[in-house]
Amino acid sequence: FSLKNGIITEATVYSDAMDADFIGQLPKTFIGAPFNSAELAARLQAVPGTGEQKKIADDIAAFFIEKAY
């Protein structure tokens, strides 16, 4: 993440997940968000996707919540 005044201005996501297209769309999900776990998790959980994609997003959201940024 790159931040300005606590707001995400750039994001990059690296993953070994098989669904590269889904992972590739995640960075734009974070742009403009305040850098805090609850907001990052909420944005991930709002991303549309298949059941497996939702599981990936939920796993990443849980990681953010656990880290308590």
pTM as predicted? 0.88
DSSP string, 41-61: HHHHHTS---HHHHHHHHHHH
Distances (CA, A) of 52 to 13, 18, 31, 33: 18, 11, 23, 24
Smallest CA-to-CA distance from 38 within 15, 62, 19 is with: 62
Q: What is the pLDDT of residue 67?
A: 95
- CA pair distance 51, 32, nearest whole angstrom: 26
What is the per-residue pLDDT across 5-60, written as a single tens digit (0 to 9) for each?
A: 999 999 999 988 889 999 999 999 999 999 999 999 999 999 999 999 999 999 99
